[in-house]
């Protein structure tokens, strides 16, 4: 599992083998089953996860019991409830494996230590913040400016693995539509 993380760092950052080894050594392996919950509403997020294999999602449940998926991480992506991880306060999100997954996790304390000790740690933290901002901005803009069909078409074009690998329930939740609406959009193809 750690080889994928080493490759990720080597391909995405200007760094040294020593820093990569130092950072990777702070991660611990974790295997989770499909539908296994890693973080529940009210928990303090103590880890950031790197998806080596499988997929994981972050989602909310509204007062009516409806799920709203905020983010889906596939292979070679990170996932956390970033506000809870940074502030070490309870989250209002859930993180759940959407497929059986092999993860590498780093604790809050180890992450903070790595940020202080390595340029790679600082760069990773900055990249995570940038990805979170860009993703959340795009999601907000897409909900304000795009129809359900446009959001589906864009997802199909930019990240078809989500549609191919995950259930209609999760895809609909990610697109902010009902499963029935998703079926209608798919039928228009």
Report pLDDT digits (tens) over 1-35: 899 999 999 999 999 999 999 999 999 999 999 99
Angle between helices 148-158 and 179-187 (to 10 degrees): 70
Task: Give the alpha-carbon dihedral of 86, 92, 97, 101, to 10 degrees.
Answer: 10
Report pLDDT digits (tens) over 97-111: 999 999 999 999 999
pTM: 0.93
Intra-chain end-to-end CA distance of the chain, in Å: 38
């Amino acid at each position: 599992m750690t080889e994928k993380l080493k490759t990720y760092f080597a391909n995405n950052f200007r760094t040294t083998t020593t820093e990569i080894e130092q950072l990777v050594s702070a991660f611990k392996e974790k295997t989770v089953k499909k539908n296994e919950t890693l973080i529940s509403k009210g928990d303090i997020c103590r880890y950031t996860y790197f998806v080596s294999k499988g997929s994981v999602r972050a989602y909310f449940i509204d007062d009516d019991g409806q799920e709203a998926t905020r983010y889906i991480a596939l292979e070679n992506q990170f996932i956390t409830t970033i506000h809870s991880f940074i502030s070490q306060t309870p989250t209002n999100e859930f993180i759940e494996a959407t497929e059986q997954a092999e993860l590498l996790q780093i604790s809050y304390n180890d992450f903070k230590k790595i940020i202080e000790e390595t340029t790679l740690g600082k760069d990773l933290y900055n990249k995570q913040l940038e990805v979170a901002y860009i993703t959340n901005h795009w999601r907000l803009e897409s909900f304000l400016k795009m129809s359900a069909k446009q959001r589906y078409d864009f997802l199909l074009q930019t990240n078809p693995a989500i549609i191919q690998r995950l259930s209609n329930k999760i895809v609909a939740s990610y697109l902010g539509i009902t499963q029935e609406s998703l079926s209608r959009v798919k039928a228009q193809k």
